[in-house]
Structure 1
Amino acid sequence: MRRYALTDQQWEKIKDLLPGRSGTVGPTAKDNRLFVEAVLYRYRAGIPWRDLPERFGDFRVVHIRHARWSKKGVWQKVFEVLLQESDNAYYMLDATIVKAQQHSAGAKKSLNKQAIGRSRAGLSTKIHTLCDGKGRPIAFHLTGGEAHDLQGADALLEKVNAPALLADKAYYAQKRVLARLQKSNCVAVIPSKANHKNKRSYDKQLYKWCYLIEHFFAYLKQYRAIATRYDNLAVNFLGGIYLAASSLWAIC
């Protein structure tokens, strides 16, 4: 098997979810598998599109097609179909920051609209993530790296469909998190902040499973073009994240 290529098991799970396949309305794509593997290779190796190996064809075609699929939500739809087998015993919420390479700030639109922020460390993007009970991703939200984790909670809490949510102290907010979870009959397994006078009780044994979402972040950052953001547009970067996450679901 070629380096970073899909296994047959992974391909079997996603091939019928892609546009342009044989038997569907519209033109038939030349080789969907080769294209998907080209995009995976680029994100996994962390190379410019123009440095794709010749076996993948014209890099411009691969790049344009990836951008088109990202904009149309193709990668997200594949991801959402695969996660229907999620473990709803509890969910986990957290965020990780990735450095935005200087060339990723070249888009015409403002940095804020492209989920790139400025901080002491320079340009960065924060990937807010919701995971299931086995540490597999359920949903994503992008912000600038300087954004508070609660901005991710604002976007992702509506997707929580589990009896409990595990999160660290950064998500300890009465109105924005705790009240919303209580309203949806979801137990908040979130420790109080150190400076909080009235400490709230929580399931400490269940909270220990938060390490699983950290394992997912470690897996995601094996994709070097995600660990360091090279994409100008947030929609393209998010498309790459959805594809990487789909490859994980496809082997589960």
Structure 2
Amino acid sequence: MVRTLLSDEVWQKIKDIVPGKEGDRGRTAADNRWFVEAVLWIGRTGSPWRDLPVEFGRWHTVYMRFARWRRDGVWQRVAHSVAGEGEIEHILIDSTIVRAHQHSAGALKKGGPQAIGRSRGGLSTKLHLAIDAIGRPLRLILTEGQAADISCATELIEGLRAQAVIADKGYDANAFVQSIRAAGAKAVIPPRSNRISKRLYSRALYRTRNLVERFFNRIKHFRRVSTRYDKRADSYLVFASLACAFGPLVQL
């Protein structure tokens, strides 16, 4: 018997936003919970789809349904619902490089860029993340591994209201700091060593930045996130989003 991850409490949060529930057009999907478990199993173990345990059904049928939900934006709604909403006190941002497995290369060019680049160590992709002070994921962006952290900084916090934005010195850029202040927030970012005029920042608040680093450690327990096997960027982003939403809630 495979180990499951979904608690009754978490399932209650998402059961009414997935397709196939009672009242939807088409055939009712009585196995929605078991299907979500199957996708979480793939994400947690990093296994190929063909190795999906038979208890979950035919692997190809499960994959096609996964792809259909990906196309329709269902997984993003699921992740958002699990994470929940609330007032944001502080925003913490950072990025992490993920090694891309050789199986992730070779996506069709007509699909556009697939967020795989070259950095130290070979093929890689990078996850840019914003969380709040209680460890709730706010925004996730995928780029090539060689992309600079600052390249996604503004997009990570755009439209989010908070008292402070906390980041390491890789985000120390005048334009970004000014955009934070223009939004009415404090920029808790240590200045680079080559700055002539050193900017003051709250060292006490900066010490909380380890929350985002611990968050990355947590979601990388999902092996399909810690190593990228998916050729398509949107498929990998689905697993990363699910890990962000479910990772803090489950025992891995």
TM-score interval, smaller chain: over 0.9
Partner of 1:47 in structure 2?
47
> Which whole-Å CA distance do the structure 2 matches of 1:136 and 1:64 have between them?
30
Q: Does the aligned pair in 2 maintain the 1:136–1:213 contact within 8 Å?
A: no
Partner of 2:170 in structure 1?
170
**TM-superposed deviation, 1:112:** 7.4
**TM-superposed deviation, 1:249:** 6.5
**TM-superposed deviation, 1:245:** 2.1
Matches within 5 A, 1:1-252: 2-109=2-109, 113-175=113-175, 177-248=176-247
Higher mean C-alpha deviation, range 84-93 or range 198-207: 84-93
Give me the identity figure in percent: 45
Higher mean C-alpha deviation, range 82-91 or range 32-41: 82-91
> Which whole-Å CA distance do the structure 1 matches of 2:96 and 2:86 have between them?
22
Q: Does the aligned pair in 2 maintain the 1:86–1:132 contact within 8 Å?
A: no
> Which whole-Å CA distance do the structure 1 matches of 2:128 and 2:183 have between them?
21
Higher mean C-alpha deviation, range 177-186 or range 22-31: 22-31
Q: Does the aligned pair in 2 maintain the 1:94–1:128 contact within 8 Å?
A: yes
Counterpart of 1:134 in 2: which secondary structure? Answer: coil
Structure 2 runs not aligned, ≥5 long: none
> Which whole-Å CA distance do the structure 2 matches of 1:62 and 1:23 have between them?
22
Task: With the length of structure 2 as denominator, give the TM-score of the two structures.
Answer: 0.93
Task: With the length of structure 1 as denominator, give the TM-score of the two structures.
Answer: 0.93
> Which whole-Å CA distance do the structure 2 matches of 1:101 and 1:189 have between them?
35
Q: Does the aligned pair in 2 maintain the 1:44–1:224 contact within 8 Å?
A: yes
**TM-superposed deviation, 1:108:** 0.7
After superposition, the Cα gap between the structure-2 partners of 1:154 and 1:85, relative to the gap in structure 1 and judged at 3 Å, is closer
Q: Does the aligned pair in 2 maintain the 1:112–1:144 contact within 8 Å?
A: no
Q: Deviation per CA, 1:44-80: give whole Å up to 9, x if none.
A: 0110000010001111111121122122211111222
After superposition, the Cα gap between the structure-2 partners of 1:209 and 1:112, relative to the gap in structure 1 and judged at 3 Å, is farther
> Which whole-Å CA distance do the structure 1 matches of 2:86 and 2:49 have between them?
33
Q: Does the aligned pair in 1 maintain the 2:219–2:244 contact within 8 Å?
A: yes
